Amino acid sequence: MTLENDLQQLANYEAFANFLAVVESLREECIAEMHQATSENIQQLSGRILTYDQLLQMCDWKKIQMMHPTKVGLV
């Protein structure tokens, strides 16, 4: 199996949707922290935000949100 196939299979599970919801929440927390961060911390936070974004995009988070709306707070 390829990574793409693996992610498509995982998308069928509500637990995976819940995990990605946590990743999105962590990304949003980092964005909020940037407002009060020192210049040294901004670079670290930016790296974390990019990593969270890459994970969400790689997993097609928007599609998974539509597949499991009650599990990710969309209803």
CA 58 to chain centre: 9
Cβ 60 vs Cβ 11: under 8 Å: yes
Does 73 map to a domain? no
> Looking at residue 71, what is its pLDDT?
56
Q: Is 74 exposed, middle or buried (0-12, 13-18, 19+ CB in 10 A)?
A: exposed
The CA distance from 65 to 61, in Å, is 6
Of 25, 19, 16, 14, the residue nearest 49 (C-alpha): 25
Does 31 map to a domain? yes
Q: Residue 23 is part of which domain span?
A: 3-68
What's the predicted TM-score (pTM) here? Answer: 0.86
Q: How many domains does the chain have?
A: 1
Task: Kindly list the averaged pLDDT for each block of 10 residues, start to end, along the chain of length 75.
Answer: 91 94 95 92 95 97 90 50
Does 23 map to a domain? yes
Does 41 map to a domain? yes
Does 40 map to a domain? yes
